[in-house]
Structure formats: structure tokens, C-alpha cells
Amino acid sequence: MTRSWFRQAAIAVMALALGGCVVTHPGAVDSVRFASDRSFVEARTEAGVVRGVEGAGVRAFLGVPYAKAPVGDLRWRGPRPPEPWDGVRDATRLGSDCVQALGRKAILGGGGGLVVGSEDCLFVNVYGPVPDQVLDDNLSRLRPVMVWLHGGAFTIGSGANYDPSRLAAEQGRVVVTVNFRLGALGWLAHPGFDAEGDGGARNLGGNWGLMDQQAALRWVHENIGAFGGDPGDVTLFAESSGAWSACYLMASPGSEGLFHRVILQSGPCLEPQSLNAAKDQAPGGPPFAEALGCTEQGQVACLRALPAWRLARAPSLRSGINGPGSWGPVHTDATVPTSPPEAFASGRFTWVPVIVGTNTDEGRLFAVEVKDMERYQKETVWLYGADGERALERYPVGADGPAVAIAQSFTDSRFSCPAEALRRLLARHVPVHGYEFADAEAPFLLPDWISGLDMGAYHASELAYVFGTSWLFADTGRWTPEQRALSDRMMRLWAGFGHDPDFEQDWPRVNDGGGPIVVFHPEGDRVDATFHDRHHCGFWGGTALGAVEPG
């Protein structure tokens, strides 16, 4: 079976959910730009002065370049510092999203799709609170910084899809959202890159997007003071593929000193098929080029001459986070010299406190098309191979139907148990906290009629709660008072990580077994020690798909 219905459902839902927001950015940007008390404000970066806007209690500097546009000969090279400019650069409008193809197949590297965005996309958006002339004793004091890496299977999305205005205004944080290269432009590996020598040590490519993220963090380190942020107090937080990226960044020596704590939401990086060495992915580069007509020597130069839309629409011939044919970062290269599991087990990573969490029903977002027993059995065997029959026994179909059964196995194998294993590994060296988001009534990010399934606490359902603002159709206007209070608690905890002296009273550290964790629920949070058993982690640890956990 070359393409399962389960994966087709994942593609359809994720393309709609994540790709659909590429051209409809959050309204809070406009609420700042067009606020009745709007005024303009300037900040001086190392490249020049930018003019942003403040209003409704928030300062926003939008579309600020952190690197030179990676076009022409700079395509598939490490990011360069932005060109300095004279005068004042407008930062009241969002910059372009990075090139990406939207469609059923495109999101997981299958090719085709509607191409949007630009290669000139390496921008950050900086949000901060407006200093209160009366309440702020020291108007020049620097505030803690939070840097956000978006999800989207490494192929779609942008920093502008997220609205951090409440985090900034209510929690007193300077929040930075980041664009980085996607798809082939962000993750292509090819032997020809090594001959160019870009990146110092052996570099077969495959981590251009990761290098962008690291460059954005360096930009924050060098410039955020001009926006009222403290470069010595940076929390890196990320979701889904963004959290996988953050995992790799922790294992990269070049990240040392760029962040001081990490929050990984639904992106544990110990799942076997998300761990790919550069040398294993580079052989996919030449056939990728040949499929685009670059058949002679000098394939890299030929690829650089192609229009970006052709590269975005071309199918991947490598492996990534979502298996064969998808994109994602690589290890054992100049940027990430060893795999994240090996780095974490040996202690060769950036030692900072970490939060690792998942949602109770992650897999339901991907299981909407599994509607009968025949498909359930076929998809389970396809997903788990030699362990498929055992998985069928472990996850029998109950009254909720086959979609819920396969969604639970997918949740446990791809998210929950790798997260527990990651907590165990990291806790050998650094303070670690764990969570499970469990609001089964969280508003769905698409119109409810699309799913035909009780989505529960689905993948990405926590995003509206962490930011406190609507995300697609996950409208905060539909929240109950209890859900709004849950969001307030989560925003306070995310922002208070590393700052609130009472933090560990409410949220204890995990032990060497990966628990306990805190379960977030509208009716009240609780400390929970049953995560391992509830998600069948003993079972998955004994399969070929178990989390990679050295030592």
C-alpha cells in the first residue's frame, strides 16, 4: 500500500487546518494596527531602525528581517546577516510567509499543491507590552523573552499564524514568532552541498530550516534588548514539528547560550522515523534533482536556477518526521553532530530546564476517515508493520468506533510514550516537568461538521489555550468560564516557567521514570502518576516503533 487512507486523512485535515491559515493571519495584528489609541514606536537593531506600532496595550514590530533573503546563490546556504538599511524601515506589516505548497499530498512531501509565499521570508515578529507610565517603577527594565517555533510538518505555516498579544500584554513578556525555510528549500540534503563547504565541517545539507531558527535565536540574542527584552532570559517554546526542531536545537552545539529553558508541545523527538542521519538522506538529493530535469553534473547549480514554485511542488524522495517521502531535520552533520537521543543520554546538549507535554487525544485529528473495521485493521497493520497484529489486540474497537481505537494507538505510539521517554532521558541531567492537556471539549480548529468525530483533546488543541487567543475556528469566544480559566492558568505557567518561585509547588519535577505529570483540565488540574499505564507505554517500549532511548 503506497498511500493509506489514514495518511490521506491526515494530509487533508492538516492541510486545511495549518495551511489554510497561511493567508488569513490572526486579527490581533489588525487590532494593534487599527486600535483607537494607535501610535508608532521605533527601535534600533544592529541592521537599522524599525518603526512598529503600539495600541491596545501591545507593541508590535512585524516583518523584521533576521537574515538576508536566501535567494539566488544563497538558496541552500546558511543564513547570512541582514543587509543594513538607511533611514527607518516600516515594521507595521507582516512579511511574506516562506514558500510552501498547500494541498492533500504536498503537506507530507508528496508533491503538487497550491504554492504561496516567497523565498524572501526570513522575518521575525516581535510583540511586547506597552510600558505603563504609572505602574512600571523602572520603564527601562528588560522583560523575559519567549521565542515561538510553529508547527506544520516542516512544510507549511509561519510565525504570523499565531497571535501572542495576550501573552505579551497580560504576562509582561516580549514574544517573538519566527519564519524559517520549509519543504525542499528548508530540508533538502544532497552530496553536492558538501563540495561547496558552506557550514564549516562536513555538510550534506538537510538542516537549512534549522540553521534559520538558530540564526533567529542569535538575532534575538543580539537585538532583543532594543525591544525591551532580556537576551539572558529566553524561553524557546514550540509545537509539533516546531518542537521536533527545538529538540534538535538542544542537541546542536551552536545553540549554547541562545535560550535558557525549553517547552516542547506535542513534539517528542525520540520516535525512530523522525531520526535521520544526513548521510542517509543525502542520496535522495540526486534523484530529486533528476526528477526536476537536473540530470547533468552540477545538479546543485541547476536546482538553484529553478523557480521556487517548482521546488515546492516536487515530491520528496527522502524520509522525515512523517516517514518516507516527508521532510525534516537531520543529525550527524555540521549543525547537529549526534542524534538527539544520543546527545540527551550522554549529556552532550544544551542543559536548560524543559517542559515536555502532549494532548490526550493527539491522534484523533488524523483518524477521521477510519470508519469501518476493515479499514481499521488494514491501517493498523500498515502503520505498525510486524507489530500490527499485536496492536490490534492491544487496542480493540469499542463503542466509540474504529477511528477512536486507531487514534489512541497513534497517540500512544507517536506522541505520549516518546514524550515519557524523553522526559526520562532529560531528567538525568536537567529539571524536567511534564503535562497532558486533557480538555475533551476544546473548540475544534475546523468547522465541526468536517470531522464527523468527537475530537477530544486533539493535536494542536492546546494552542488557543497557550496563547489565549483564537486559532482558526478554535474560537475563544466559545469557551466556557472554566475553559477561559484553564487558559489563564496555562498562560501564567508557560510565562512563569523559570520565574515564579512557587512554580514547582503546583508542578513538580518528573522523576527518573518520566512522571508524575500535571493533567490540565477545565474542571481543575491534577498531578497524575498513571500516564505510563494509560498510554500503554510498556507495550510500545517492546516494539520496533518504541522510542529510541539509549542507555
**Residues designated as active site:** 240, 362, 459
Cα(316)–Cα(285) distance, rounded to whole angstroms? Answer: 9
Cα(409)–Cα(14) distance, rounded to whole angstroms? Answer: 19
Q: How many residues does the chain have?
A: 551
b/e sequence 21-39, b meaning 16+ C-beta within 10 Å = bbeebbebbebbbeeeeee
Q: Which of 492, 512, 490, 401 is nearest to 438 (CA)?
A: 490
Residue with cell 509539533: 240
Does residue 222 contact residue 64 with C-beta atoms inside 8 Å?
A: no
CA angle 210, 212, 216 (to 5 degrees): 120
Single-letter amino acid, residue 393 = E
Cα(500)–Cα(236) distance, rounded to whole angstroms? Answer: 17
**φ, ψ of residue 62 in degrees (nearest 5):** -110, 145
Three cell numbers, residue 196: 561547496
Residue 399, classified by CB atoms within 10 Å of its CB into exposed (0-12), middle (13-18) or buried (19+), is: exposed
Helix (H, G, I), strand (E, B) or coil at 489: helix
